[in-house]
Amino acid sequence: MCGIVGYVGGRPALDVVVEGLARLEYRGYDSAGVAVLADGKLATAKRAGKLVNLRGALAEEPPPAGTLGMGHTRWATHGPPNDRNAHPHVDCTGAVAVIHNGIIENFAELRAELEDSGHGLASDTDTEAVAHLLEDELKAVGGLAGTGGAGGGLAEAMRRVCRRLDGAFTLVAMHTGDPDLVVGARRNSPLVVGVGEGENFLASDVAAFIAHTRDAIELGQDQVVELRAGGVTITDFEGRPAEVQEYHVDWDVSAAEKGGYDYFMLKEIAEQPRAVADTLLGRIGADGRLRLDEMRIPDRELREVDKIIIVACGTSYHAGLIAKYAIEHWAGLPCEVELASEFRYRDPILSPATLVIAISQSGETMDALMAVRHAREQKAKLLGICNVNGSTLPRECDGVLYTHAGPEIAVASTKAFLTQLVAVYLIALYIAQVRGTKWGDEVFAMVQLLERMPEKVAKVLETMEPVRELARSLAGERCVLFLGRHVGFPVALEGALKLKELAYMHAEGFAAGELKHGPIALIEEGLPVVVIVPPRARDVLHDKIVSNIQEIRARGARTIVIAEDGDESVVPYADTLIGVPAVPTLLQPLVTTVPLQVFACELATAKGHDVDQPRNLAKSVTVE
């Protein structure tokens, strides 16, 4: 949600910043803007719409070359997505430029105060208030430090401003009077420092600078960073030196590129066998026992857990719904699954014996972070499942299990979802191992089956041409329903979500058994209904859904049936049959989700949509 880049060094800042924005565009694409400092003057350019519009403007009117710059790609919160509201925003003097990710909650009051004291605000954004506050605070601290003067400087002014702000924000600012300084600040929204040689970077995500350096510093909560070509200084909002965590990014620039695919989403779907394999790697000992030491929650404490609550949003929430079945079945613990955005606003009953698992690909989703903080206040144990090293979620949990999907850049989550499933299976089996709710050989047998899943997912991917053909043939439809039972129900929800967000079509996922309680009224002649059929081994469940298929078919539905290879019983009732490899019921989402991802991606592409950047969306939702 909004991408931010800052640069100081020896190269042309504009090139570095625009290249960084291109890698961050997945975070928001309502507008884009840059500021470069050259010859003591700020040059800014900004355009509504995608980065391509800004690139066009920069080509028409190139700003003077400078080696200090910053850029922003916006997901609009305050004010419509037009040129005026695009970042950077400047103060009354035109000397300070600011970009921002997040929401400043007390902005109305700050704005009123600024207007009363004579500042003229040109945009509808909350961000602009910060530029004017910096203008005032710079006067209060006696002006610039370092090159420009003897005052407290831009960093001190930023600390003073941050102390006045409520809400979530990442801010980056520069000033005409200090041509070697970019100042950043963070509370609740992500900001990472890229450490180069004679140059340094700031960004919402390492992808923005990965082509230049893989050495990064994770900024903590409420910290301000002074970035100069020769070094980086980090303090808290009071100016005290801060403890920071340095790390090396373990993937390179090729992981953040399309690698010959038309869309990141296609590449990420194709990467799923590897992502699943990587997430299993190193977690299974030679004796077949699971080793999840990185969880940092001692086995003794896991034995004391009496309830698990999973909090997550969107696709990650669907992974949580599937986790419930695995945890209850293998670990024998009660498990509730909550939308993170709802959890925080009720009064969940938690205790030190409750394990709260937060699932988030980005580790920055504000709703998930707020849910974790809510659980922390009530002394629950906290475990994160996260894909992004250096993000906020792992810092706020007692332990973390990283998924190893690699960077997921398409807005719609695919490979991260499959790896989240692997992570929840590992956790459920590990708890079963620790608590002894399953015999060691039962856990081992399931782990062996898990190890074969990359090959099964690869097999699904090999047979997707008929799914693509089907998707193209349905591009003119207005509505598609998805039905499933047991773990097939969250898969149905996920299939519907993918279709909604990519193809902008009405799509709903239902528990197949619920259909007769209302939704069956939606069925009409020719309505496409996708049904996920459990393995034949689950005979009662399987037979019930075969009956459901007959019920909807009798009412005119066009049935698209996903069933395990060789399941002859569904053949008479399937207008289209999509086969997936036979796997145990609990693991089936790993193979049944893939055709739904391909289906949504192809259908949206047939409708001419940009599947990497669906309208109104952004990856990493850092506002509540």
Q: Considering the complex, what minimum distance in angstroms separates the CB of residue 360 from ligand F6R?
A: 3
- The tokens of 436 are what? 């002894």
Looking at the Cβ atoms of 360 and 593, the one nearer to ligand F6R is: 360
494 near 417, Cβ under 8 Å? yes
Q: Considering the complex, what minimum distance in angstroms separates the CB of residue 401 from ligand F6R?
A: 14
CA distance 131 to 118: 14
Segment holding 558, helix H or strand E: strand 558-564
CA distance 572 to 588: 22
Q: Considering the complex, what minimum distance in angstroms separates the CB of residue 247 from ligand F6R?
A: 19
Looking at the Cβ atoms of 358 and 457, the one nearer to ligand F6R is: 358
What is the chain's Cα-based Rg?
A: 26
CA distance 232 to 263: 36
234 near 276, Cβ under 8 Å? no
Q: Considering the complex, what minimum distance in angstroms separates the CB of residue 510 from ligand F6R?
A: 19
What are the φ/ψ torsions at residue 424 (nearest 5 degrees)? -70, -35
Instruction: Name residue, tokens 């050989």.
Output: 441
CA distance 264 to 522: 34
Indicate which residues carry an active-site annotation. 2, 619
Q: Considering the complex, what minimum distance in angstroms separates the CB of residue 399 from ligand F6R?
A: 18
CA distance 353 to 369: 20
CA distance 152 to 137: 10
Task: Calculate ∠ Cα 574-578-584, nearest 5°.
Answer: 110
Q: Give the residues across from 101 on adjacent strands.
A: 170
What are the φ/ψ torsions at residue 446 (nearest 5 degrees)? -70, -40
Looking at the Cβ atoms of 135 and 367, the one nearer to ligand F6R is: 367
Answer positive or negative: Cα dihedral of 290, 327, 538, 508: negative
- The tokens of 577 are what? 């049959």
CA distance 467 to 361: 27
Looking at the Cβ atoms of 548 and 593, the one nearer to ligand F6R is: 593
CA distance 217 to 242: 12
Instruction: Name residue, tokens 């709710």.
Output: 437
CA distance 236 to 159: 8
Q: Considering the complex, what minimum distance in angstroms separates the CB of residue 386 from ligand F6R?
A: 8
Q: Cβ contacts of residue 23 below 8 Å, gap of 6+?
A: 205, 207, 208, 210, 256, 409
Looking at the Cβ atoms of 200 and 360, the one nearer to ligand F6R is: 360
The closest residue (CB) to ligand F6R is: 314
Q: Considering the complex, what minimum distance in angstroms separates the CB of residue 446 from ligand F6R?
A: 25
CA distance 301 to 305: 7
- The tokens of 7 are what? 């640069």
Footprint of ligand F6R (CB under 6 A): 313-316, 360-362, 365, 368, 412-413, 497, 501, 620-621
CA distance 304 to 163: 41
3-state SS, residue 385? strand
Q: Considering the complex, what minimum distance in angstroms separates the CB of residue 6 from ligand F6R?
A: 23
3-state SS, residue 605? helix
Q: Considering the complex, what minimum distance in angstroms separates the CB of residue 527 from ligand F6R?
A: 24
Looking at the Cβ atoms of 360 and 613, the one nearer to ligand F6R is: 360
Looking at the Cβ atoms of 255 and 339, the one nearer to ligand F6R is: 339
Q: Considering the complex, what minimum distance in angstroms separates the CB of residue 566 from ligand F6R?
A: 31
CA distance 47 to 34: 10
User: How far is the CA of 392 from the CAs of 26, 182, 186, 619, in angstroms?
Assistant: 19, 22, 11, 15
